[in-house]
Amino acid sequence: MTPAPPPPAAKDIGVPKDYDCAGTAIEVIYFEHRAILKFDGESVRLGPVAAASGARYQGWRADGVLIDFWGKGDTATLNVAGHDYPECTLIEAPVAAETEATSPAETPTTAPAPAVIRTYSARGNEPFWLVQADATEVRWSTADHVAADVFTGLTRTTRADGFALTATREGGALALSANATVCRDSMTGMPHPDTVVVQVDGREFTGCGGNPIDVLTPNAWTVAGIGGVAMSGRPPTMQFSADGQASGFAGCNRWTSSAVLSGEGLRIGMAAATRMACLDDTASKQESDFLAALGRVTRFDIDTNGDLLLKAGDETVIRATRTAVDAGQPEG
């Protein structure tokens, strides 16, 4: 059976992707189970279809024309009413904004220049809504209104428990409050770092914000249990990075692997480990059980104590506690 398209990486969900199809510009916004294609002045909702590779979506324009979009990494193909466009290439977003107003000549001496706000996304369900904020503006869209409303004049206020954004447009205003408490997407269960409340033109919406990887990366983690069995001796450790890597101490050896977040879960690749012999059978078994459990992980969660739960479906295969120790540098 031809597989269905894989879900997009979490960092891609809700983020507009611009493509150049030999001079024809299109924009695609990926969501967990669909995509929105902006093309020729229209926004078309697309659903996933089976594909041998990459992620393929199809949908009908308002006039009944079928649109087929097939993304394969940094390239894509676009077919509209049976007409194939030349290969589309992803246009990378410029990074110049990250260095604006940072030279001594441009930075006021009376007060430090505010840090540039990288793109921040928040979303909710029932009804679906999406917020995307950068350094200067906020884009607001819903399932029934995918052509985003743009709010400008953005201001940001930092609080001890999170931050707030406010922005305006003619005849309206948007206010976003992000509280730094773990929020689980109501459809996928994916943990996000912030619980978000958005007020738009007198209406209030609740949902989750931030990148799920930020739930994992700020801490190192010390394994407390594997399959419900408490650790003995020197426990394994884990640390995750924003570039999709995981590493730590397995019990006898150092280990490293890929750690890929999708729209619905977490996959940890086959771990590579050093080849030092374990000093006793207990440590050897504990390391073997840990590495095997990593390979079973399909998602993660955070419990009420702040412990990390790595799960295979609904089963917790690894429980870990936060630690200040660098998981990549085990004690000697």
Q: pLDDT by residue (tens digit) across 31-63?
A: 656 788 887 777 788 878 777 777 888 887 777
Q: Which CATH superfamily is domain 10-91 in?
A: C-type lysozyme inhibitor (2.40.128.200)
DSSP assignment letter at 277: P
Q: pTM higher than 0.75 for the full model?
A: no
The rounded distance, in Å, linking the Cα atoms of 159 and 6 is: 37
pLDDT of residue 44: 81
The residue extents of the domains of the chain are 10-91, 113-211, 215-323
Which of 214, 240, 230 has the alpha carbon at shortest distance from 327? 240
Query: pLDDT, tens digit, for every residue of 90-136?
Result: 886 443 333 333 333 443 333 333 333 457 899 998 888 999 898 88
Which of 129, 130, 172 has the alpha carbon at shortest distance from 151? 172
Which of 33, 22, 152 has the alpha carbon at shortest distance from 91? 22
- 3 state SS of 290: helix
Which one has a higher pLDDT value, 165 or 33? Answer: 165
Helix (H) or strand (E) holding 294: helix 281-294
Which of 35, 57, 62 has the alpha carbon at shortest distance from 143? 35
pLDDT above 70 for 327: no
Are 10-91 and 215-323 the same fold in CATH?
A: yes
Distance of CA 115 to the CA centre of its chain: 22
Kindly tell me the burial class for residue 199, based on how many C-beta atoms sit within 10 Å of its own C-beta (0-12, 13-18, 19 or more). Answer: middle
Q: Which tokens in the block code for residue 52? A: 């041998």
How is domain 215-323 classified at the CATH fold level?
A: Lipocalin (2.40.128)
Cβ count within 10 A of residue 76: 22
